Structure 1
Amino acid sequence: MSRVENTAENRAESSPTADTARHLMFDDLEKLGRILVQTGDMAHSFIQSADDMDVTCRDFSAFDPSRALPRQGRGTLDALRAVQDDILPLLAASIGPRYLGFVTGGTTPAALVGDWLASAIDQNATGPEGSVNAAVEEQVINWLCEIANLPANRFDGVLTTGATVSNLLGLVAGRQWCGEKVGVDIDADGAGALPDLQLFAASPHASMIKDMSIAGIGRNNFTKIVTLPGSEQTDIDDLKAKLDASDARGKIVIASAGTVNATDFDDLNAIADLCATYGAWLHVDAAFGMFAALDDRRAHLLAGLERADSITSDGHKWLNVPYDCGIFLTRHIGVLEKCCRAFAPYLETRADGNMYINRGVENSRRFRALPLWVSMQAYGRDGFAGIVRANCDQAADLAAWVKSHDKLELMRDPKLNVTMFTGVGSDDDNRALLDRINASGKLFLTPTIYGGRFGFRAAFSNWRTRDHDLVIIKQAIDFVL
């Protein structure tokens, strides 16, 4: 026996399970129709039960994360049974109509179809080489601009993993733009080439503070702008005074179009005027507020958005597509592409179209444009407008009920889709009250601090929430008071 033959024989003897595992995969391929049917049935059952199941799971002790990986698998049908037994009973019904925490959308049927297809066809959506995926993303971005009343001939962008990455892109592109204005190339020479970059923000989202750390700016290294009394809105006079006092060569102003608590909108035209005067980059965090443009009663809140240099938004909030789907738009796509470009011989292409690998953090990219495309194609502008209008009305309805309640206090009239309220007791009393509300299993709220007081946030973002859910919500709160 030759040395090569002996080595191959020894290798086969030392890993007898490798061919078995590979056989299981081909066996699953032959059974794929049955597997997909069972997966569909399981998903359908979970979706249909989300109206009635406990909104969150509060005891995960039945799941042991330290369990060892099995040496040999038993195929996908067996794994599906394990999912059914070990995981599904312990999940949150975050797709359901009474999950009011954070700003969480559900998943429309069309978006689910698009997401499943995105997994099945498994395109690496880096660019136009050999696939239509880049053209689909380009069309989706154009449609998003249309929804937000932004001129598509001035704005371009990229789909990201979420608002955190989109905000990061705003910082990175803004810093590069500031450097280029004074003859500094931060992309080439690093952030130290512009040490006097100054950020101005009144109510930056937690993701933006995180991004300041990631970008090397520093979590505490921004100039805090005063907010207007009783709001999270930027005080324009204070912003002007601090811009005027600044001698920094680079300036970035972070504005909000829908803050996460009070859903306040900055005066974007006034801020854009200041940015023009002082040579500052204007980044607008519109993670969910951008879609207020779909409600003709609230579209005026976004006046001036088209003057932003960069904009953050999310699809997995009010557009109700699955996680994850962030949106980044900018009037300076060339600056973004300079900061994010990737060089390698295997990436070269002569195909026409946008290279999205050069517009974001990831080199490998999920085809997240497809769920958006299918959903937009299925429901159109009016379908999404219906979600936005209904959710805003639901927030107003809950606020009116809180106002009339003798044991609850409204912390702020909702401008959009978030109702902030609290109990009449102490902060400790209200922390305990929130625990009782969430323990009921009928709804889920997240905590907040507003005006120095502890309170609750009810964020209406789901297409499935209807009038009868408001009845259940109110009854559940009343029951634990």
Structure 2
Amino acid sequence: MTTPDRTAGLHTAARHAQTFLAGLGERPVGSRVTAADVRAALGGPLPEHGQDADFVIDALAEGADPGLVASAGPRHFGFVVGGAVPAALAADWLVSAWDQCAAFHALSPAGAAIEEITAGWLLELLGLPGSAGVGFVTGGQGANTTCLAAARHAVLARAGWDVERDGLIGAPRVRLLCGEEAHATIHTALRLLGLGAATAQRIPADAQGRMQPGALEAALSAGDGPAIVCAQAGNVATGAFDPFEAVADICAAHDAWLHVDGAFGLWAAAAPSTRHLTEGVQRADSWAVDAHKWLNVPYDCAAAIVRDAGAHQAAMGLSGPYLVTDPGQRDNTNFVPESSRRARAVPVYAAIRALGRSGIAELVDRNCAQARRLADRVGAIPGAAVLNDVVLNQVLVRLPGGDDANRAAVAAVQRDGTCWLGGTTWRGDYVLRLSVSNWATTDADIDRSAEAIIAAVDRTVRSGR
């Protein structure tokens, strides 16, 4: 029998990856083709026989390349995405090469140890309780869902109901409250947990999207029973933070669980210049934070953090007669919804170690300053208005001419390819939305992008579309 070549295709993949990364700063930021074009290049009949690994990788890289978006590059300002710092990217390659199932200590003592170390570092960086439970999940959706599962367990347990054993049929009604600007993943999490996507009472927010404490107090006082409140660290449009001290006081008075969706905004706690925005956030009961958004690790990593590690494990724990557990050791599966999964904390470990506390703070500081720089440049377009207080890394700009003009401008910027931004609806108007969260973005990238946006707006004005 021929000895298998476990490195087949790796050198070819590395060559293509290095070529892509080397050109990332100058390639058009948006895709050059549609999914139909990629299907045409890579599709066809199911292969009857196997093909050489190098041939497969060559075909895959060449067929996919025109449909790749330079979202990891320095001038992608749509959504809230960052590019992977080199150490995190390299560590992610190791994760795939090691091919560890990170569910149980017995399957990977290394996976258990690295998650435990990384969890401790993460809690310290964010100023959260060192005894909290930490589970490394796929993204913000997974983090919010996991945290709210722990919340569901805890508030129903206080009411004498075992939701893990008995389900929700016949359970006391759980009251759900969130700001009117809560992210869509909160409502999806409620749907997945059987609590209902439309059941949350939306608490009015101010002009920046911050939950109004007085309205929350009135809403909680109007009823009783188990309650979960969802607050926000970093509004996805404005970057604003809910007033956590006041919200926490109200939740404590009503014995309500306080969850904080801090997908990108919670990283403000890691920088002295922005830490004041998160004042009081440590008083919450659970927190969701993405590592790929601002720590800049590859996708498939976020953290679900729960103050009461017992509630966390009660909601997520896995057991079975054939499962080997090591008493006193961490079994990662007890903190996340999945069992079979990759060691996704490894890139987070690498990013934190490569950047250090000071490097993470500098990254947050620099991106926030760049957001203000971009707001100043784009906001200077005649008739334009910056709609938010640029307290973090988010910028909202309304151009003159109404929704159609703003939509045309967004499309023109995307077609140009120098940078990429998105649009959103804010207070009834369609506006430009920009987010700066990439370690590789320079001030020169900001200025170059601003010039491209100004030129695209000018072209749409002159052409009337």
TM-score of Structure 1 vs Structure 2, range by shorter chain: over 0.9
CA RMSD of aligned residues (A): 1.6
Letter aligned with residue 43 of structure 1: A
Q: Look up the match of 1:334.
A: 310
1:463 has 2:442 as partner: no
Unaligned runs of at least 5 residues, structure 2: 458-465
- 1:254 pairs with one of 230, 237, 244: 230
Conserved? CA contact 1:446–1:456, under 8 Å: yes
3-state secondary structure, aligned to 2:407: helix
Where does residue 36 of structure 1 map in the other structure? 10
Paired with 1:400 and 1:460, the residues of 2 have a C-alpha distance of 14
> 2:326 and 2:195 mapped to 1: Cα distance?
37
Q: Is 1:238 aligned to residue 215 of structure 2?
A: yes
Query: Secondary structure in 2 aligned to 1:347?
Result: coil
Matches within 5 A, 1:269-418: 269-418=245-394
In 1, Cα distance between the equivalents of 2:276 and 2:133?
22
Match of 2:20 among 40, 46, 58: 46
Confirm or deny that 1:62 pairs with 2:37: yes
1:125 to 84, 102, 112: 102
- The reply on whether 1:431 has 2:410 as its aligned counterpart is no
CA distance in 2, matches of 1:141, 1:90: 36
What TM-score, normalized by structure 1, do the two folds share?
0.91
User: Using the alignment, how far apart are the partners of 1:407 and 1:239 within structure 2?
Assistant: 37
Question: Which stretches of structure 1, 4 residues or more, deviate above 4 A after TM superposition?
Answer: none
The 2-side partners of 1:231 and 1:193 are apart by: 39
| Equivalence map 1:82-93=2 (5 Å) | 82-93=59-70
Provide the secondary structure at the position in 1 that maps to 2:39: coil
SS for the counterpart of 1:464 is: coil
Aligned with 2:159 (options 172, 176, 182):
182
Aligned mate of 1:440, from 416, 421, 424? 416
| 1: CA distance, partners of 2:60 / 2:383 | 42
**How far, CA to CA, are the matches of 1:72 and 1:242 in structure 2?**
64
Instruction: Give secondary structure in 2 for the equivalent of 1:443.
Output: coil
Q: 1:195: how far off? A: 4.1
Instruction: Report percent identity of matched pairs.
Output: 35
Instruction: Give 5+ residue unaligned stretches, structure 1.
Output: 1-21
Are positions 1:209 and 2:187 aligned together?
Answer: yes
Equivalent pair of 2:32/2:66 in contact (CA under 8 Å): no
CA distance in 1 between partners of 2:88 and 2:191 (Å): 33
- Is 1:267 matched with 2:243? yes
Distance 2:306 2:102 in 1: 20
Q: Is the 8 A contact 1:47 1:95 kept in 2?
A: no
Counterpart of 2:371, as a letter, is A
Aligned length: 452
Given that 2:208 and 2:389 are in contact with CA atoms closer than 8 Å, whether structure 1 keeps it comes out as no
Answer yes or no: is the 8 Å Cα contact 2:259–2:286 preserved in 1: yes
Matched, 1:146 2:135: no
Between Structure 1 and Structure 2, whose CA radius of gyration is higher? 1
Aligned to 1:227: 205
C-alpha distance in 1, partners of 2:306/2:148?
A: 12
Q: Which residue of 2 aligns with 1:11?
A: none
Deviations 1:171-218 (A, max 9, x none): 211111111111111111112233421101112111111111111111
Alpha-carbon contact 1:186-1:193 (below 8 Å) kept: no
Deviation at 1:351, TM superposition (A): 4.7
TM-score, reference length from structure 2: 0.94
Structure 1 residue 103 and structure 2 residue 80: aligned?
yes
How many Å separate the matches in 1 of 2:340 and 2:428? 43
Tell me, in whole angstroms, the C-alpha distance in 2 between the residues paired with 1:422 and 1:437. 15
Give the whole-Å Cα distance in 1 for the aligned partners of 2:297 and 2:326: 32
Distance in 1 separating the partners of 2:435 and 2:343: 28
> 1: distance between equivalents of 2:451 and 2:165?
59
Contact 2:133 2:335 in 1 (8 A): no
CA shift for structure 1 position 84: 3.0
Q: Does 1:137 align with 2:120?
A: no
* Partner amino acid, structure 2, of 1:286: G
C-alpha separation between the residues in 1 aligned to 2:263 and 2:94? Answer: 26
